[in-house]
Homo-oligomer: A and B are copies of this chain.
Amino acid sequence: MSRELSISELVEVMGEFTRMNIRLPAIQRLSFTTLSVLHTLATVGPQRLSELTASEQVTQPAVTQIVTKLEREGLVERRPDPSDGRAVLVHITADGAAVVRGRQEERMVRLTELADRLTPAERSRIQAALPALTRLVELHRASGEE
């Protein structure tokens, strides 16, 4: 029943974090979805277009366009899938990985400034909750796959 946890408060905070995060990509000249594709490739490795279509929840032609754009900018590469002649494996390049790292660092700088203004007790409580929050995200991903 989730009695120990106020879901409405969690939804509220998650929503605010989303709104806080969503406007940062504008700094780079890449859209949210484009950056999300890049992030996926950086963290889970080379993917087919069809896999990206599923995980990013946009249409397949949209992914084709995003990958084409990223390829023009040298951030990803299309390589044939040796196991399937129809398929394409999208690989992130060194430049692409650098973009992802750069964004992650921007956010860390920003969040560090903010976290420094919390009390030590507040920081500890967030730290203590991180494994559980990570599990929550994993449960979400797992349930979205099948």
Contact = CB atoms under 8 A, between A and B. Distances in A.
Contacts of A114: 136, 139-140, 143
A86 interface: no
Central interface residue in A10, A130, A135, by most chain B CB within 10 Å: A10
Contacts of A21: 14-15, 18
Number of copies: 2
Interface in A103-121: 104, 107-108, 111-118, 120
A133 B13 contact: yes
A22 B125 CA distance: 26
A52 to B, nearest CB: 13
Interface in A9-27: 9-23, 26
A30 to B, nearest CB: 15
A95 interface: no
Contacts of A44: none
A134 interface: yes
Size band of the interface chain A makes with B: 35 or more
A20 B120 CA distance: 29
B11 A22 contact: no
A5 to B, nearest CB: 4
Interface in A37-56: 39
A7 B132 contact: no
Q: Which 5 A-B pairs have the closest CB atoms?
A: A129-B129, A122-B132, A5-B123, A16-B137, A18-B21
